[in-house]
Copies of this chain bind each other. A is one copy, B any other.
Amino acid sequence: MSASDASPGKRDYHHGNLRAALLSAGIALLDEVGWDGLSLRACAARAGVSHAAPAHHFGNKHGLLTALAAIAFRRFHDMLAAHRAAAPDEKLAKLRAAGAGYVRFAKQNPGLFRLMFGEAALNHADPEFEAARRAAYRQLGEIVAPFLPVGADEAADHRLRLLVWSSVHGYAHLLLSGQLDRMQPSDDGLSHLPDLAALVAGDGEDSGSEAAASPDPLALSPHDS
């Protein structure tokens, strides 16, 4: 039986693509049975290998979760980008679309969303994870950039990113955690995003807080933004 004939799991000691198969299994389990149903053994069973096989590829459960979180950030990034691309070429519309994409991702992928934002201790030093996270954060900068006045300093950029991100993330997370259950399922929580952005970007008088310009949290060079 040639290698091309063998299906995954039929080979005994060399799956050939087990790391990817285990990650696919993890995504599927999060989707089908949720957070509590995700385990190393369940992923191994779904991939057709023994319970100890994942250890070779991920080290331990945290390693698997970190790799899954990297995938999640990439999918998240892609959904944001797709929503922004589909919106009319006008900054308010782009901002609304980005917010809608954020919330839509959270609703469609609650397990991945929880993984991304703190359900488990992740290996933040993992380069794939960091790269995926950084790409998603970069989009945040792109989203708010049109609202900043020409010549705005780094502190203003940070404040705007923080305010927009807090607002959208807070809304998405409150939705997921069931705190808004009896409110109507709409994007009311996002309707003020444009005003929010304009509020912060246009408010040059708010310098009472003497926050020093902080370095970019993900250490992006200027041309990366």
Contacts and interface: CB of A to CB of B under 8 A. Distances in A.
A168 B212 CA distance: 22
A72 to B, nearest CB: 13
Q: How many copies does the complex hold?
A: 2
Contact of A118 (B36, B114, B163): B114
Taking residues whose C-beta sits less than 8 angstroms from the other chain, chain A's interface range is 35 or more
A94 interface: no
Given A118-B114, A169-B170, A219-B182, A162 B176 contact: no
A59 interface: no
B180 A192 contact: no
A200 B192 contact: yes
Interface of A: 36, 114, 116-119, 121, 124, 158-159, 162-163, 165-171, 173-174, 176-184, 186, 188-189, 191-192, 195-196, 199-200, 203, 206, 209, 211-212, 214-215, 217-219
11 contacts: A117-B177, A158-B183, A163-B192, A168-B170, A169-B170, A169-B173, A173-B173, A184-B211, A191-B206, A195-B199, A196-B196
